[in-house]
Structure 1
Amino acid sequence: MKYKIIADSGSNVTTLADTDFASVPITIMAGGKEYIDDAALDILAMTDELRKLSTKSSTACPNIDQWLTAFGKADIIVAITITGTLSGSYSAAVQARKQYLEKHPNAQILVLDSQSAGPRMQLLLEYAAKLFAANAPFNEIESKLTTYQQHTELLFSLESLTNLVNNGRISATAAKISNMLKLRIVGTDTNGKLTPVGKARGQAKAISLLLKEMQAQGFNGKKACIAHCFNETGAKLLSQKIKEAYPACEITLTTTRGVCSYYAEVGGLMVGFEKQ
């Protein structure tokens, strides 16, 4: 049996240790230009260019053929997508599953809408890889992974809201007020939607608020993944604060790829974590 894990680039993940893994790119479209979120994308150049724009921008999901290509010839497949409220990636993957099964009727495929992005998706991918390593049967993989999803969460802290305005996710007035007051927005992914939960003046206060919200949402102190968009200082400070409260916590620091950098923008922090 050949196992394979696939995710769109909203996960920030490019490789999984000892696992057959593929990343399918999402495309960011802004200023008449397309940024394909693959290994060749220059994230710094993209974020610099996007900061200069005030026109509408959007993202395009991977198409069905891209998902089919990623499936390869695997027998057991887990495909995890960015939340369906931000992208049509989940729908495309579901259609690819249908077409794949027509030609490979004995294959078993789980397509999971993460209802999230970035580091929460990474937690799901790493858990799937553990199940694969244990040679778990498909039914067990499906059951345990969907259960595990209910015990994970995502929080984020944003310094800039420009792209969310240009993408039509929030109002320009709300963003202008936040920028004027130098506020960082702290939010979560309630049912797959980006939902603000608080505001903080400055990074230090935002990080304290992040940890407070993690605890309020039932953080179990065992595992967290922090992704940052050119904000290593903030990521390390958040990691330090978590370690002070939960010394045994397993923490991974990563950088955002294209689509998460598009939404989080420079200075942004995202933290995925396990909860009770």
Structure 2
Amino acid sequence: MVTKQHLLEKVRTQKPLIHNITNIVVANFQANGLIALGASPIMAQAIEEVAAMSSHADCTVLNIGTLDHANVLAMIIAGKSANQKGTPVVLDPVGVGASEFRKQSIANILREVKVTIIRCNAGELAALANVDWQAKGVDAGEGQLDVQNVAEQVAKQHNCIVAVTGVKDTVTDGQTTFQIEGGHNLMPLITGSGCLLSAVTGAFLAVADGQNLQATATALAFYKQVGENAAQNAIAPGTFAVELINSLYSFTSEDLRDNMTIVENTGIQL
């Protein structure tokens, strides 16, 4: 099994090309974060070129933060191209519960594209599973949810990995489930921290040699520690955003600690 240290070193050595179809709010932040990490970003969403871009990329990341009909079609085309090449696809269903258009768009993507991982927050997970939840725009919102159980069921339904971020992260393929401790309370106070995590996860998947569950859990474990490290030099959200990029650049494999555990599968059906 690949180790956390080995995966981080592989990202920085191999410099995987990550094709992002993302939202206008975070595109620059995602690109800079990937460069700082050691990966190579490409931010292309024109329908005329997305298939070619994904065919060249080592991973494709689809983010619906500021979507329209053309954008959704581009994601489906790019996702199918990645599927044909056999490279991972990360789906970030930003604010999927905020509107019917978002729900239908995610349903269309999941129907047309074989995604490797759905990277979401608890509110987005609830929307994917049709669980009652009080969303607030694209933020996580509030509600009661057995995150582990629902994540396991969604993973089984879509035959993919589900990674749910929060105070404690949950990563599951429906059979094996990891929980990850750590992070910092400044992380949700900057726009795009979750979106950047989806791209970082894509970089780890790109060098995982098929060990996708381990790579996903490793990416989330790494990112929580990067956030903690960034907070040591930040006094407020504005400086934290800069320090998060700096920490992605400076955090080494020797800095990594073991902050994830395997938990028992619930075995509960929704």
State the TM-score, normalizing by the size of structure 1. 0.33
Q: Which has the higher helix share?
A: 2
State the TM-score, normalizing by the size of structure 2. 0.34
